[in-house]
Amino acid sequence: MQFLDSLTKEIKTFLPVQNRVVMYVCGLTPYDSAHIGHARTYVSFDVIKRYLIKKGYSVFHIQNITDVDDKIIKRCKETGANPKNLTEQNHNEALELFGQLHILPADVYPKVTEHIPQIIDLIKLIMDNGNAYETETGVYFDVSSFGGYGKLSGQDMEEIEAGSRKEVDESKNDPADFALWKKTKNEIIEFDSPWGRGRPGWHIECSAMVRTHAKQTLDIHGGARDLIFPHHENEIAQSEAGTKKKFCNCWMHTGFLTVNGEKMSKSLGNFITLRQALSNSTPNALRLFYLQAHYRSPLDYDEDNLQATEESVERIFNTLGLLNETLANAGSHVDQDFREKTNSLVATFYKNMENDCNTPEALSSLFSLLRMINGHLASGKVDHAQLRIVKNALQDMLWILGLEEKRKGLEEKKEDILALAIKLGAPKPETPEQALEFLIKLREDSRAAKDYKKSDEIRDKLKAIGIILEDKTGTSGSRWKII
């Protein structure tokens, strides 16, 4: 398996330190609701995680909660909210939405507020090693003391210094130096430290939580592309300056997400929360939309494209339904051509996943496989043995992609189905299943008698209560699904 390492800018074979892959993905700063940009990143790393699990690795996934941050303080001052309540409410809501999106939960969600002693210990270590200094405003990392600074972002020190600005209330030695600890007085969020009351800088928080929970060089450190500089650049510098060990073996970053071609922002009126997105599309469609672009590529959010992915999801699970129906019967026919072509498409799916998690090409293989399955099923002469193999392969592929069929039960439509069946002459059915069976049989009888008006009426009335009837190809009978 190969990934592109953002540090070396090269595709390289993924070799974890142990059989257990340790993956750290930068988590939310929960001062506001999670949005579709967050979801794009977490779906991408969810697929990477799922693929590693399917390959047989144990994955230890760390995803921090930045509950100490200037944005949180600003929001609390504006609204009068309690920082702990604000961050817990927003993060709990985000986890619930991520669950709806089929994102596997992390093994740990460490909070900054619960790791202040570890953060202080790491800052002391960095200072003892001569890489940081204290001023009247805080403790700062001395960028000039770390020879490899800029290696992740590809910037040299002149560019970094030109892009930095020296605040009037700071006494830093150099504009590029960054805060490890900010001294404060009677702030909403502050803690005791050897340097007085204050709070940690943003970057040191992640380094300390990695050191606490990973206990080794990270196999993968992930996040959105906009975190490369300064956040991830600073993580490398302070971690390696403090521990004198390599911080991470493979850096992975997701591409930017825009909305209708523009950067998402509230001022432009194109800021879309994850809850809003999931109210307009299904979790499967949103996941599939994200995966149609390579995780490193830019992606433009477009609701017209989302509608197309809804239809693609329907095709996937319709084919799976047809497979299940066909495999309910036995057969001994062998189709060697079908076997060779389907095995090749399954192999191509995995080859694409091995190549830096190339989901667009993997999806192309998946949909080619679906077309081949549908054509084979329609032929009337099916290879049951190969279809069982293909079904298992298809289910594995869908699990890796995080696409899950969620069949709604008839129970929630019980009253409407029973009422319709009784109105059309059913002898008092006791369950919605019995009522639906009666209605399907009545429609088939009407079609056989060429009473198409009645047949269409039954179909339309079922659709009105949220049940779609689909006639089977090449045979009698109908299948149903709830919408």
Instruction: For the chain, list the domains and their CATH numbers.
Output: 2-254 (3.40.50.620), 275-401 (1.10.730.10), 410-482 (no CATH)
Q: What digits encode the pLDDT tens for the residues 464-479?
A: 888 888 776 545 567 7
Whether the predicted pLDDT of 163 surpasses 90: no
The annotation status of 415 as a binding-site residue, yes or no, is: no
- Structure confidence at residue 155 as a pLDDT band (50, 70, 90): confident
Specify the range with the lowest mean pLDDT, choosing from 37-51, 224-238, 337-351, 430-444.
Answer: 430-444
The annotation status of 205 as a binding-site residue, yes or no, is: no
The torsion angles phi and psi of 306, rounded to 5 degrees, stand at -65, -35
The annotation status of 235 as a binding-site residue, yes or no, is: yes
The torsion angles phi and psi of 3, rounded to 5 degrees, stand at -130, 155
Specify the range with the lowest mean pLDDT, choosing from 49-63, 112-126, 175-189, 258-272.
Answer: 258-272
Indicate the length of the chain as a whole number.
483
Distance CA 29, CA 202 (A): 10
Q: What digits encode the pLDDT tens for the residues 9-20?
A: 999 999 999 889
Helix or strand holding residue 259 (H, E)? strand 257-259
- Structure confidence at residue 267 as a pLDDT band (50, 70, 90): confident
Q: What digits encode the pLDDT tens for the residues 371-422?
A: 999 999 999 899 999 999 999 999 999 999 999 987 666 777 888 889 998 9
| The predicted structure's pLDDT at residue 407 | 65
Which has the closest alpha carbon to 122: 206, 190, 17? 206
Distance CA 50, CA 24 (A): 15
Q: Could you report how far apart the first and last alpha carbons of the chain are, in Å? A: 39
| The predicted structure's pLDDT at residue 330 | 87
- Structure confidence at residue 144 as a pLDDT band (50, 70, 90): very high
Reported as half-sphere exposure (CB side, CA atoms, 13 A), residue 464 has a value of 9
The annotation status of 266 as a binding-site residue, yes or no, is: yes
Contact, 131 vs 142, CB < 8 A?
Answer: yes
Contact, 390 vs 408, CB < 8 A?
Answer: no
253 Cβ contact partners less than 8 Å away, ≥ 6 residues apart: 6, 222, 223, 224, 225, 227, 228, 296
Distance CA 99, CA 74 (A): 29
* pLDDT > 90 in the chain, percent: 76
58-63 vs 299-301, strand pairing mode: unpaired
Whether the predicted pLDDT of 133 surpasses 80: yes
| The predicted structure's pLDDT at residue 473 | 53
- Structure confidence at residue 165 as a pLDDT band (50, 70, 90): low
The annotation status of 246 as a binding-site residue, yes or no, is: no
Per the prediction, the chain carries an average pLDDT of: 93
Give burial (CB, 10 Å; 0-12/13-18/19+) of 358. middle
Q: What digits encode the pLDDT tens for the residues 90-101?
A: 999 999 999 999
Whether the predicted pLDDT of 166 surpasses 50: no
Give the angle subtended at the CA of 215 by the CAs of 221 and 125, to the nearest 5°: 95
Kindly report each contact of residues 392-400 with a partner whose C-beta sits within 8 Å and lies 24 or more positions away, as own/partner.
393/342, 393/346, 394/319, 394/320, 394/323, 394/366, 394/369, 394/370, 395/320, 396/54, 397/346, 397/349, 397/362, 397/366, 398/316, 398/320, 399/50, 399/54, 400/47, 400/50, 400/51, 400/54, 400/353
| The predicted structure's pLDDT at residue 170 | 63
| The predicted structure's pLDDT at residue 57 | 96
Distance CA 228, CA 222 (A): 10
